[in-house]
Amino acid sequence: MLRRLLSLAAFAASFTASFAAGANAATPAPMKLADYMALKGPVPNASFAYGSAPSQFAELFIPGGPGPFPVAVLVHGGCWTKEFGGITQLRNLAGALAERGIASWNIEYRRVDEPGGGYPGTYQDMNAALEMLARQAGRYPLDLKRLVAVGHSAGGQLVQWMAGRSRIPATSPLYLPDPLPVRNVVSLGGLADLRREQGLIKSSCDREIGQLTGAPSENRPDVFADTNAGDLLPNGSRTILVTGELDKVSPPRVAYDYAKRARAAGDAAEVVILPGASHYDEVAASSHAWPQVLQAIESALKR
């Protein structure tokens, strides 16, 4: 009897160890910054300069077939600085979207540590890049009525800002008459609310908020009135906030807080939490979280 009990105990221990090993194998380790920096993808079909600075350009990725294709405007993150890459890594996403029949407009822009970057230049780059996209829609098979802006981290802040551009006062240097509408946004670990998340932006990215908002002046006493997505609500947009469960740069709490404010203002907003995912899994087509990210993007394009 004792021998049988010992045998059963050994079997149970072996089964438990095997099950645990299988579970660990089924859930890859969360991606780290080095994994993100190593991301790569196909070369673009075309590249367009929308300004004279080296960082003022956008890349176009077009799927095979006749089109017209829905368009994902991609804006990389990197804490608004050159240090953490950006447009090259998002080619990984653009290539995966092309396989799903979605064209991509992958935007590079001047960051806070580049001449002309920060306020107002970074935002003016977004305006100029979207104006360039509108001009190219007649030359390429692009359906701008089916458009979603997808931004990661700092790029999440910028795409959420895009959706509110029509509310920017005409006195602002960021004002653009009749801007290309951005009604659908997928924010991947976005740091969108500059007014309320100043402490997090400082601790996660070491950014002083003035780099992103400019300094107050007599004509512009509230620096958030034209820079902060949370101050440009409601704007008729739908935002899907996708955040890794383990994201420490922009934790899930940030997504829930922004969605609550957007819904209270009258806009549509929802939160998707990626189980076992980090800040970098959110933006990698090679990540285990990619199916959920893709689902959010495709859902936004159906609106």
Average pLDDT over residues 203-221: 94
The residue ranges of every structural domain in the chain are 31-301
The pTM of the whole model exceeds 0.75: yes
Which are the contacts of 110, defined by CB distance < 8 A and separation ≥ 6?
53, 55, 56, 116, 117, 118, 121, 122, 125
How do beta strands 46-49 and 57-61 pair? antiparallel
What span, in angstroms and rounded, lies between the C-alpha atoms of 161 and 228?
7
Query: Can you list the alpha helix ranges (DSSP code H) found in the chain?
Result: 2-26, 33-37, 87-99, 121-136, 154-163, 198-205, 209-213, 252-265, 290-301
pLDDT band, very low/low/confident/very high, at 10 (cuts 50, 70, 90): very low
Output 5 or 90, whichever has higher pLDDT.
90
Average pLDDT over residues 204-211: 94
Give me the torsion for CA of 270, 163, 120, 115, rounded to 10°: 70
- % of the chain beyond a pLDDT of 70: 91
149 has pLDDT over 70: yes
Output 17 or 274, whichever has higher pLDDT.
274
Query: Is 74 within 8 Å of 106 (Cβ atoms)?
Result: yes
Rg (CA), the chain: 21
What span, in angstroms and rounded, lies between the C-alpha atoms of 226 and 213?
8
pLDDT band, very low/low/confident/very high, at 5 (cuts 50, 70, 90): very low
Q: What is the per-residue pLDDT for 171?
A: 93
Note the pLDDT tens digit of each residue in 220-258: 999 999 999 999 999 999 999 999 999 999 999 999 999
Q: What is the per-residue pLDDT for 11?
A: 40
Provide the CATH topology of domain 31-301. Answer: Rossmann fold (3.40.50)
